Each structure stands twice: as C-alpha cells, then as structure tokens.
Amino acid sequence: MNNISSNNNLFIFRLLALAVIFILSGIYCIALGIVGISGAGKEGIDLTDPHVRWEDLEAGDIIEMDLPYMGDCFMAYTRNGNDVSRRYLFPLLDFSDSIHGQINKYIVFSCKKADFDGYESVRANLKQNSQTGFHIIANSNTIHVKGKLRKITGEETSCLLDYLGSLGYAGTNAENVYLPLVVEPYNEAPGPDIAAGAILLVLGCGIMAIIIFRKK
C-alpha cells in the first residue's frame, strides 16, 4: 500500500514539474512576442545616413536600410561542413574629403544562410585602392536589410580581433575601430512566439488542473 502511495506521489510530482516547465516556457515565449511587437513600431536607422552618429547606437535599436556594399566575412558557423550563419564586417566610409572613402568605424552584420548570395553580391560593390582608399562601384545593386542591434559575443569579438589584426590593426587601435554591436536579422512577426507561448501556457494550466482534480 505504501509503495502504491509513493509511486502515486512521484507521478504527481513529475506532472507538477512538467506543468511548471510548460507555464514558464509559455510566459517566456509570450514575453519574446511582446518584445517583438514593441520593436515593430520603431523607425529603422540607416547606417549610411551621414546624420546618424554611430557612437549613439545601442542594443535594441532597429536598423533598416538598402545595403550598398559590405566588407569581408570574418566568421562563420557551420553544420555538417556547410555555413549556416556568417558574420560580415560593415565599414562606415567617410567621403567628406574625397570621392574615395576612408574607414571610420566597423560594425558587424549577422547573415543567415538565405541571405548569403545577397551579401556576397554587395560585397563585390566595394573596391579598395591601396593609395586612394575605398570606392563603391557606380550603379551597383543594393539589398534591403532590417535588423536589431545586440551586444557582440565573446566568440565574435575574438574572431573579429583576429581578423582586424590581419588588416594591420593592433591593440587599442583594433579595439577602438569597431562598435561592440551586431546587426541581427529582425523578425517582425512575433505571432508564432505568442501562439507557442499560449499553447504551452494552456498545457501547463491543464496539467495543474489534472493534479488538483486527482487530489480531490
């Protein structure tokens, strides 16, 4: 009899743990959806706009622009030997003193696999002359991007500093030439997060109701 009671208590405990997991996961997904909705109304920032101060950018800002060029890919995440996500370095070019741009700052763009071809196409638009600087090919194509700024990770920073070192930047020069932010592809459709959260919440509450009913 005691063994049956013990097994029953263990079953109820496992159900309770499952209910708590579902409820907490549901709340988390709904919160993500709400954050997405709050960001949907923000006006996107064009990083090539000369009136934009890169120093004022911060995590959470929405970036939206027609990307005219792109720097090199300095990092990639792979699965089964194939790239699934890449990190590109976007340079802010200053054309104030010449038709040939000089680099002021870099910022990292995160690129998902579906956008590889687009990023590579605009990467070809940026040409460098060792004496005069950079220039953008006339009448070149652009790609429309929308992203949300997040803080750069330690792994991304390490790969970035290695790459900047290969370009001749060293020490504090390398650390001061980039913003510690990443433009992450932005999903404007928070609906799936909220829907998934609602389902998990209902399941969790349903399990809790079963537990209460069994005790009665």
Does residue 73 register a pLDDT over 80? yes
Query: What average pLDDT does range 145-165 have in this prediction?
Result: 94
pLDDT at position 173, please?
82
3-state helix, strand, coil in the chain (%, to 5): 45, 30, 25
- Interacting residues of 66 by C-beta distance below 8 A, sequence separation 6+: 142, 143, 144, 145
| Nearest in space to 141 (alpha carbons), one of 159, 158, 126, 128 | 126
Q: Which two tokens stand for residue 126?
A: 């940026």
Number of Cβ atoms within 10 Å of the Cβ of 147? 21
Does residue 84 register a pLDDT over 60? yes
| Nearest in space to 110 (alpha carbons), one of 91, 89, 93 | 89
Calculate the average pLDDT of the chain: 82
pLDDT at position 96, please?
62
Query: What average pLDDT does range 9-13 have in this prediction?
Result: 75
What gap in Å lies between CA 106 and CA 90, rounded to an integer? Answer: 5
pTM above 0.85, yes or no: no
Query: What average pLDDT does range 160-185 have in this prediction?
Result: 90
Does residue 205 register a pLDDT over 70? yes
- Of all residues in the chain, the percent with pLDDT exceeding 90 is 38
Q: What is the pLDDT of residues 25-44, one digit of tens each?
A: 888 877 766 666 555 556 78
Q: What is the DSSP string of 137-169?
A: PTT---EEEEEEEEEPPHHHHHHHHHHHHHTT-
Establish how many alpha carbons lie within 13 A of residue 109's alpha carbon, considering only the half-sphere containing its beta carbon: 27
Does residue 2 register a pLDDT over 80? no
Where do the domains of the chain lie? 2-38+191-215, 43-185
- Which of 12-16, 34-38, 103-107, 125-129 is most confident? 103-107
pLDDT at position 50, please?
83
> Three-state DSSP class for 96?
coil
